[in-house]
Amino acid sequence: MAEKFMVAEKYRLELHWTSVKYEAEDYCKLDDAYFSGPVLSIAERIQGNDSINLDFFEQYPIITRNAYVAKFSWGNVIYNKNNTITLKDAIISHDKDLHKVPQLHDNDYIVIDTKNHESEVHHFNLVYRAYVVNENFIMYNFRK
C-alpha cells in the first residue's frame, strides 16, 4: 500500500545508488551513491568524510522518534555538472539492538527532508526525516 508523505520541494534531497551490499545485519554499502534534488541549489557545500542521521519513524507503526534511526556516512564527495553529488564509500549503519531500519533494495532510493536544517537551526535538529521509496516512486509502508 502506498503512503503519501509531504516534503516541500525546496527541501527535498534524494539519496540514490546502483546497488546495496549488506555486509552485516546492521551495515550496508551503497554502490555509486549520489545526492540529487532541489535543495542542492541552496545548500551549503557538502563535506567529505561526514555523516548524517536518518530517521525513518514515519514509515513504521509506532510513532516513536529515535527508534528507527540509521547513520549515513560517506568518504570523498565529487560535485558533478548534472547537479548531483557523488558520495564515495557510502554506508548506512545502525545499532541492531536499539534501532529498526528498512531493508534497502537496489532500485530503492531515500527522500530526505532537509527542512529545519538551515545553518542557524541545524544544531538543534540531530536527525533528518527520511523516507524509503521504491522505483515506482511509492513510499514503502513498514507498518504491517
Reported as a single tens digit per residue, the pLDDT across 85-131 is 999 999 999 877 555 667 889 999 999 988 875 555 445 457 888 88
Residue 143 lies in a domain: no
What confidence category does residue 137 fall into, taking pLDDT thresholds of 50, 70 and 90?
A: confident
Residue 144 lies in a domain: no
Residue 4 lies in a domain: no
The alpha carbon torsion through 50, 92, 99, 112 (nearest 10 deg) reads: 70
Reported as a single tens digit per residue, the pLDDT across 40-56 is 998 889 999 999 999 87
Residue 107 lies in a domain: yes
What confidence category does residue 132 fall into, taking pLDDT thresholds of 50, 70 and 90?
A: confident
The mean pLDDT value of the chain amounts to 81
Full domain range(s) for residue 40: 9-133
Residue 141 lies in a domain: no
Residue 75 lies in a domain: yes
Residue 1 lies in a domain: no
Can you tell me the distance from the alpha carbon of 28 to that of 18, in angstroms, rounded to the nearest whole number?
13
Mean pLDDT lowest among 25-29, 61-65, 78-82, 139-143: 61-65
Residue 82 lies in a domain: yes
Under a CB-based contact definition with an 8 Å cutoff, are residues 122 and 50 in contact?
no
Count of domains observed in the chain: 1
